[in-house]
């Protein structure tokens, strides 16, 4: 084996900065995915176990008591898009919040990336690409179970995937722009879990149509990416009746969350790394 100094070319000829300046986001994503692979069995077990438990308890358990079709379809079919949106949001969120606190505080690995040719913007993009990869995996696993339970037809997979990934991206982007401010955990995850995620998952027309809530509670659904994605998914998967303008609003709202979240995250990441 040769020693370091034996084959020294020097960065000047060895490293072309244009390569990482173009592909850096993917290198960050590669790093994140490599890291995720350390937990891949847990991710898959959770990704399969969670829908099975949900479908058995709520879908079939509660669903068996609901004899009349909801929205013209069996309860399980009605429920499926909401469960998918929830899973997508959870999966994407896990992969932006934990890595961000880790990157800035726990291992400071973002600072080591930024010591290379990688820019703050590429770190944001890379973390998001990896999070969406995990999100996609989680959604596909969920859909597999849903198909096996007969909750959704095979044909609706493509549209449901799009609807739930859009929700995952929108919410993850917002979380990214918030997590960048965290100096330490400080109960951040507990607060998000209890005061944001829990109400969002419950009051977004998840288990029953949003319209059956009193009007003063419906606003939670209107601002919730879960509702927008669920309503979109229902329209696309089984023909739930929605005004065409509302479909556009769903897409625009989720897209806007994503764009605003990313555009807020970029300068904040840059600022924190350049301190």
Partner 1 sequence: MSEIKEEIMIRAKGLRKTYGDFVAVDGIDFEVKKGESFGLLGPNGAGKSTTMRMIASTSLRSGGELEILGKDPNHFGPEIRAHLGVVPQQDNLDRELKVWENLMTYGRFFGLKGKWLKAKVDELLEFAQLEEKRNTKTDELSGGMKRRLTIARGLVNEPEIFMLDEPTTGLDPQARHILWDRLFRLKELGVTLVITTHYMDEAEQLCDRLVVMDKGKIMAEGSPAALIKQYSSKEVLEVRFGSENNKSASEKLKGVGDRLEVLPDRILVYSEDGEKALEQITKMGLHPITSLVRRSSLEDVFLRLTGRTLVD
The nearer residue to partner 1, 2 or 211, going by C-beta atoms, is 2
Q: Which stretch binds partner 1 (CB under 8 A): 24-32, 85-93, 144-152, 210-218?
A: 24-32
The nearer residue to partner 1, 103 or 221, going by C-beta atoms, is 103
b/e map of 228-254 (b: 16 or more CB within 10 Å)?
bbbbbbbbbbbebeeeeeeeebbeebb
Residue 12 CB, nearest distance to partner 1 (Å)?
6
Q: Dihedral (C-alpha) 165, 163, 148, 36: value to the nearest 10 degrees?
A: 0
| Among residues 86, 90, 100, 114, the one that binds partner 1 under rule CB under 8 A | 114
Q: Which stretch binds partner 1 (CB under 8 A): 52-60, 78-86, 112-120, 132-140?
A: 112-120
Q: Is 14 in the site for partner 1 (CB under 8 A)?
A: yes
10 Å CB burial of residue 110 (0-12, 13-18, 19+) is: buried
Q: Which stretch binds partner 1 (CB under 8 A): 114-122, 183-191, 223-231, 252-260?
A: 114-122
Q: Which stretch binds partner 1 (CB under 8 A): 18-26, 68-76, 135-143, 157-165?
A: 18-26
Cα 73 to Cα 179, 209, 235, distances in angstroms: 39, 13, 12
Sign, CA torsion 95/96/101/107: positive
Residues forming a β-bridge with 70 = 73
Please give the residue ranges that form the binding site for partner 1 (CB under 8 A): 1-5, 7-12, 14-17, 19-21, 23-24, 27-28, 30-31, 34-35, 38, 107-109, 111-119, 273-275
């Amino acid at each position: 084996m040769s020693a370091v100094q034996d084959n020294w070319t020097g960065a000047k000829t060895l490293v072309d900065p244009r390569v990482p300046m173009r592909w850096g986001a993917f290198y960050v994503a590669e790093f994140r995915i490599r890291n995720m692979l350390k937990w891949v069995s847990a991710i898959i077990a959770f990704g399969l176990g969670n829908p099975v438990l949900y479908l058995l308890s709520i879908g079939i358990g509660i669903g068996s008591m609901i004899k009349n079709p909801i929205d013209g379809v069996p309860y399980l079919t009605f429920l499926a898009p909401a469960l998918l949106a929830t899973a997508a949001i959870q999966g994407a969120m896990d992969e932006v919040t934990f890595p961000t606190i880790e990157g800035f505080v726990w291992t400071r690995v973002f600072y080591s990336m930024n010591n290379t040719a990688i820019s703050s913007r590429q770190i944001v993009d890379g973390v998001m690409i990896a999070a969406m990869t995990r999100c996609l995996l989680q959604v596909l696993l969920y859909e597999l179970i849903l198909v096996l339970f007969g909750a959704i037809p095979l044909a609706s997979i493509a549209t449901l995937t799009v609807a739930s990934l859009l929700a995952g991206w929108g919410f993850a982007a917002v979380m990214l722009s918030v997590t960048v401010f965290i100096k330490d955990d400080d109960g951040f995850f507990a607060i998000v879990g209890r005061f944001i995620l829990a109400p969002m998952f419950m009051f977004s027309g998840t288990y029953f149509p949003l319209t059956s809530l009193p009007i003063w509670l419906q606003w939670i659904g209107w601002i919730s990416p879960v509702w927008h994605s669920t309503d979109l998914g229902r329209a696309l998967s089984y023909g739930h009746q929605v005004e065409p303008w509302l479909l556009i609003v769903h897409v625009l709202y989720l897209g806007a969350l994503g764009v605003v979240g990313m555009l807020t995250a970029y300068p904040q990441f840059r600022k924190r790394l350049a301190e």
